[in-house]
Chain A
């Protein structure tokens, strides 16, 4: 389905070099190096508490590195002004907070903050970016509704619209499908794949569902205990041995009949002997 990342691929817009991230004394990510491929969808997977969300926060400069560095377009991300970074890289945290009673268009409009100044609070560009973001996420009809009234799937699309309105070539999303039913998970991922395809945005996702990760990732990163165990094309990365190692799960790997990507089939306890 996807071509492998070749040597003459465009340079990575976001890299980590021997990155070490810790909360106080607890080291979560230890000397991790990675390069996010440009114009691709990268999905980070791993068991709970493997450090994938922490890594995403580190890549988005929400956390300072204890050691090593994150380079955005080749420059140390903490050396650049945070507003400057915000025009290049957008981050949607796991549980963003919508103020009580806020409307969809107001919330999405706040994504324009890095482009605004005290004397330029809502330019023609801002308005156009908000309209485009609402349109791309199919939330134009919801523009005047209060965010608290929306369903989980609608709300998630609104948050993605905020990230879109920010207008960054790089988008990082931490588990954008959590708390959504399967139909809405697919809807959100289809939207992100569409944005990647049509606008060439580089997207980095943390996902829980391995099968969906395999379907949507161009580049899959498997993490365990704060380190990368394997990365590359989903078909190359996902093997029964790797899933056993990373998730501590017995499984069979099939070819997805629809997409040809790996399909992970967990083996229930009663069938272990047969497998």
Chain B
């Protein structure tokens, strides 16, 4: 019914969609769409594959049939009850980390700003270990504790970094300080723990998707359902915020309000993801960087970052499950093995750029 007049800007590879009648217009970055969809397709392929492999291999064709309501009773049990919730949690948690990291990095104008470095994850970790070791809580209580811990930590960091507004630089520095403090709290709690609880805590701290059920899928999908549209709506503000506070104010943006909403969304995404899978390292750091390199400077690359986060997470979990099968490695170990060298590369590069400047 609505026939938008579609104009293609040739040199920019930017699609401008307009409807004169509705007074509606938007821009779509061709490359961001292609890269994002490609990453999503890869993530879904690995996801389906992860449902197929295991101690009871099921042919991929049968997995797909089962997902669409077919399959035998045993394949339905293995796929729907055992493997599907874990795979979905991996996809969604990865997407949440990727999106969260992309927002943090854009806001702070710093590729090192991600929830695992600016202390949000450390807050979740300290709270979760506290619940495991001192409260002897259930898995649901641990999840809730981690959520509360990360949100309180983020709030504390924001308030400590606040001085006539929050600059990205101060946010990263305060985050590093708070992370160090909370790290020592976590270590102290572990020294007080019984051996069984300590082991449970350490597995949680590494980040693991082992034994994830539908109760883990629901909160993450709900969070994404709310926060992805919020992020898309705020992307326009983020593009102006990137130009510096004075320029953004000059362009009529309510800088503190926009930044608070974006920070809150990014923190909530990281907090929910961490509560569901533990503080899985490096996904939030690496996924936005990979997306950015492939998408280029024309787009913010928020949704591509989410797609790469999902891909990274689901692939890392599959590798962790199968590498030394039947022994499972927690997903956090695999993401660290993949992510740490990348972090070193970023630091080395930042150092060189800094030396040049």
| A99/B236 contact (C-beta < 8 A), A105-B12, A106-B298 known | no
B16 touches A99 (CB 8 A): no
Please encode chain B, from 294 to 317, with 1 for each CB lying within 8 Å of some chain A CB and 0 for all others: 001110000000000000000000
In the bound complex, residues from chain A placing their C-beta under 8 Å from that of B297 are: 99-103, 106, 146
Task: Please tell me which stretch of A43-51, A87-95, A266-274 contacts chain B, meaning at least 4 of its Cβ atoms lie within 8 angstroms of it.
Answer: A87-95
29 chain-A/chain-B pairs, Cβ below 8 angstroms: A62-B246, A62-B249, A62-B250, A87-B252, A89-B250, A93-B247, A95-B244, A99-B106, A99-B297, A101-B297, A102-B297, A102-B298, A103-B297, A106-B297, A107-B243, A110-B239, A110-B240, A113-B236, A114-B251, A118-B233, A119-B25, A120-B24, A121-B236, A122-B26, A122-B27, A123-B23, A124-B25, A127-B16, A143-B12
User: CA–CA, A110 to B253, complex, Å?
Assistant: 12
User: CA–CA, A123 to B239, complex, Å?
Assistant: 17
A122 touches B243 (CB 8 A): no
Q: Chain B residue with minimal CB distance to A121?
A: B26
Interface centre among B243, B246, B252 (most CB of A within 10 A): B252
For A113, give its contact among B26, B106, B253, B296 (CB under 8 Å). B253
In the bound complex, residues from chain B placing their C-beta under 8 Å from that of A103 are: 12, 297-298
B236 touches A97 (CB 8 A): no
B192 beta carbon closer than 8 Å to chain A: no
A257 beta carbon closer than 8 Å to chain B: no
B250 touches A93 (CB 8 A): yes
A111 touches B251 (CB 8 A): yes
In the bound complex, residues from chain A placing their C-beta under 8 Å from that of B233 are: 118
B18 beta carbon closer than 8 Å to chain A: yes
Question: How near does chain A come to B91, taking the closest CB pair, in angstroms?
Answer: 28
Question: How near does chain A come to B85, taking the closest CB pair, in angstroms?
Answer: 35
| A120/B247 contact (C-beta < 8 A), A82-B253, A102-B297, A113-B253 known | no
User: CA–CA, A116 to B27, complex, Å?
Assistant: 12
| A123/B18 contact (C-beta < 8 A), A82-B249, A106-B298 known | yes
| A121/B25 contact (C-beta < 8 A), A103-B297, A166-B251 known | yes
B254 beta carbon closer than 8 Å to chain A: yes
User: CA–CA, A121 to B239, complex, Å?
Assistant: 12
For B244, give its contact among A83, A90, A97, A116 (CB under 8 Å). A97
Q: Chain A residue with minimal CB distance to B255?
A: A82
A144 beta carbon closer than 8 Å to chain B: yes
Q: Restricting to A96-152, which residues have a CB under 8 Å from any CB of B?
A: 96-103, 105-107, 110-111, 113-114, 116, 118-124, 126-127, 143-144, 146
Other A-B pairs beyond A91-B246, A98-B243, A111-B251, 20, CB < 8 Å = A62-B250, A84-B252, A90-B250, A93-B244, A97-B109, A97-B242, A99-B106, A99-B242, A99-B243, A99-B297, A106-B297, A110-B240, A113-B240, A119-B24, A121-B26, A121-B27, A121-B236, A124-B18, A144-B12, A146-B297
In the bound complex, residues from chain B placing their C-beta under 8 Å from that of A111 are: 251
Q: Chain A residue with minimal CB distance to B252?
A: A86
A-B contact count, CB below 8 Å? 104
In the bound complex, residues from chain A placing their C-beta under 8 Å from that of B246 are: 57, 62, 91, 93, 96
Q: Restricting to A164-182, which residues have a CB under 8 Å from any CB of B?
A: 166
A101 touches B296 (CB 8 A): yes
Question: How near does chain B come to A70, taking the closest CB pair, in angstroms?
Answer: 14
B244 touches A120 (CB 8 A): no
B21 beta carbon closer than 8 Å to chain A: no
In the bound complex, residues from chain B placing their C-beta under 8 Å from that of A61 are: 249
A85 beta carbon closer than 8 Å to chain B: yes
Q: Chain A residue with minimal CB distance to B247?
A: A96
User: CA–CA, A238 to B149, complex, Å?
Assistant: 63
Q: Restricting to B239-277, which residues have a CB under 8 Å from any CB of A?
A: 239-240, 242-244, 246-247, 249-254
For A110, give its contact among B12, B18, B251 (CB under 8 Å). B251
Question: How near does chain B come to A262, taking the closest CB pair, in angstroms?
Answer: 32
A82 touches B109 (CB 8 A): no
In the bound complex, residues from chain B placing their C-beta under 8 Å from that of A92 are: 247, 250
In the bound complex, residues from chain A placing their C-beta under 8 Å from that of B27 are: 121-122
B23 touches A119 (CB 8 A): yes
A113 touches B251 (CB 8 A): yes
A19 beta carbon closer than 8 Å to chain B: no
Q: Restricting to B139-185, which residues have a CB under 8 Å from any CB of A?
A: none
